[in-house]
Homo-oligomer: A and B are copies of this chain.
Amino acid sequence: MSQNAGHGMVTMNDVARLAGVSKMTVSNVVNNRDGVGDVVRQRVLEAIRRSGYRVNVSARTLKSGRTGVIGLAVPEIGLPYFGHLAAHVIEAAGRQGFHVSIEQTGAAAAGEADAIAHSRTLHFDGLILSAVALDRPDEQLGDAGYPLVMLGEQDFGGRFDHVAMPNEEGTKAATAHLADQGCRRIAIVTGRVLDDVNMVTRRYRGYLAALAERGLDADPPLLFPLNDASMEAGRDAACRMVDSGLEIDGVVAVTDTVALGVLRGLADRGLRVPGDVRLIGFDDVPESRFIVPSLSTVAPDHRWMAERAVELVAERIRAPLRPTGRYVAPFELMIRESTR
């Protein structure tokens, strides 16, 4: 009821007046500290209820220096994989008492650098960055102790805490599985292989490793490049693949999202999966179980990744200068209709 002049907000002072105590006592009640008599506590609680008071998080933050918010920067929250991942991060963060503010980077290095700057400007307690483009965030870093955790994609060689995908191992297992099913001419649909830290590069390596192990070769290279990791790009690549006239009986797609597009492209060209060509993806997005044919895929443990990332942020807040760690998510090969 009694309101402050400022912004129509009920403050601790208002509550204190209403309950006939000092605002310090109100603070103690609000924060469940002891040293407050039962009668007074009840009186204060009643005053809080009646006035509709809520703690002002900004003021608390100003004192504590902590916002209780961690940022999550992903290329595009609308992509199934990142939406799925974000859901896990939000839950894990909630369990640790953090809120999550989501930023979209547009899969561009500039967006990712912005997200880091932004996170610090807004004084987020930490940032989980799902980087796919940035390759040298040295300059933006500045403070080596800022809780910045890389999630999933790029690997910056120990400069940051990093929760990695089993890129190489997973793709190798996927490729080997295709070989086990009798495929001899296995193509890969992926991004352009550019540098060393790239997720694309690592998955490509896993693919090559499996081919080598099985004595299969890929000459001419059965690599069909993408401009981005969209369904549309996947479809286009599949069409190019078929139109190339090369003999191909198995396809490794760099992500499930791309695989969905590949599936579409193959259908456009009249090829059947798994009859004419087998197909395997990476990520195990929820859709993969339900599409027809259901999609075989590499299933990293997303929940594990999200939890680990949030834990790492929390740990680094506690100990800003402890050495960084790298953790690779466990994965499972989901065998479904597309490779039967």
Contact = CB atoms under 8 A, between A and B. Distances in A.
Nearest to A55: B121
B83 A99 contact: no
A287 B267 CA distance: 15
Given A54-B120, A231-B286, A78 B87 contact: yes
Of listed A65, A121, A290, A292, residue having the most chain B CB within 10 A: A290
Contacts of A289: 231
A264 B78 CA distance: 23
A74 to B, nearest CB: 10
Interface in A81-109: 82-84, 86-87, 90-91, 99-104
Interface stretch (A56-64, A126-134, A184-192): A56-64
Nearest to A99: B101
A58 B65 CA distance: 9
Contacts of A294: 264
Contacts of A82: 83
Q: What is the copy number of this chain in the assembly?
A: 2
Contacts of A54: 120-121, 123
Contacts of A232: 290
- Place the interface of chain A in its size category: 35 or more
Nearest to A9: B65
Interface string A273-300: 0000000000000110111101000000
B260 A123 contact: no
Nearest to A60: B58
Given A7-B65, A290-B261, A102 B102 contact: yes
Interface of A: 6-7, 9, 52, 54-59, 61-62, 64-65, 67, 69, 76-80, 82-84, 86-87, 90-91, 99-104, 120-123, 142-143, 231-232, 235, 260-261, 263-264, 267, 286-287, 289-292, 294
6 contacts: A7-B64, A52-B143, A55-B121, A56-B62, A69-B101, A77-B86
